[in-house]
Amino acid sequence: MKSLPVFLLALLIAFPSYARDTVENFLGMRFIRIPCGEFVMGTADITEAQMEMLKPEPGGLAEETPAHTVVISKPFYLGETEVTQSQWLKVMENKPGPKELWARDDWATLPVASVSWFMAKRFVEELGKMDKQYRYRLPTEAEWEYVAKDGVNALRPVEEEALGDYAWFIHNSGDKPHPVATRKPNHFGVYDMLGNVWEWVEDGYAADTYSKAKRIDPIGPANARSKVRRGGSYHCPLHFTRPGYRSADAPGTRYEVVGFRVIAEPR
């Protein structure tokens, strides 16, 4: 595994508890303060990524290129976990997705899924109406990848053999979702950035985003027909379960393997 960048090492040394710099809202949702910084967005070694695929295609994964330096200019508070079923129920007063997930003994701490991008945006809106202290939004694609890469410019922030310690994916999940925060957190203190459920982000999708986007706080095209989801899920094989992999669907699409997490912004 490659070493952490200087800025992240400095934070860990100077502020060893910074990963526990959290805020908590009225529902008990916890948010980790993510410091500003820069990272390499995209996949530098496409050949290495393609080799993990069952059927590599020429030109495949081109939407992950070119790898480029991105600056996250402002700190932000990211959800420590994906939004759970209990949190969704308290805000939206309904139960999306398979009934068997709501009937499980651990239903409350499962990540909510079977929600579209539109539904995730509605949750953000309704949660904000209920909270006088914080506003909420989905993370941008750049913010999401910044946290998921965890200071490491490689296919994953951990070696392949250690991935199961940090992520629920098809090799260890039993092909079912698991309660949030039951794998190890990354160096930022955030859980389940890879695996468990895919996560909607704010951005619209374009295959050439990385060649056209600005390098400071970028965001994808607002008028795109599809919205980006990231991170893979409990159902995904290895090659989907990495920070650089990009997927997208129409914003009204609902899958049993897709959820989201949110950012809190003090008012």
Which domains does the chain possess? 6-266 (3.90.1580.10)
Bridge-based pairing of strands 198-204 and 258-260 is: parallel
Neighbours of 131 (CB within 10 A): 17
The token duo for 259 is 């959820």
Tens digit of each residue's pLDDT, the chain (267 residues)? 444 555 555 444 433 434 469 999 999 999 999 999 999 999 999 999 999 998 877 677 999 999 999 999 999 999 999 999 999 999 999 999 999 999 999 999 999 999 999 999 999 999 999 999 999 999 999 999 999 999 999 999 999 999 999 999 999 999 999 999 999 999 999 999 999 999 999 999 999 999 998 999 999 998 899 999 999 999 999 999 999 999 999 999 999 999 999 999 999
Q: What's the pTM value of the predicted model, to 2 decimals?
A: 0.92
Peptide bond into 66 cis (omega under 30): yes
Q: Which residues pair with 39 in a beta bridge?
A: 70
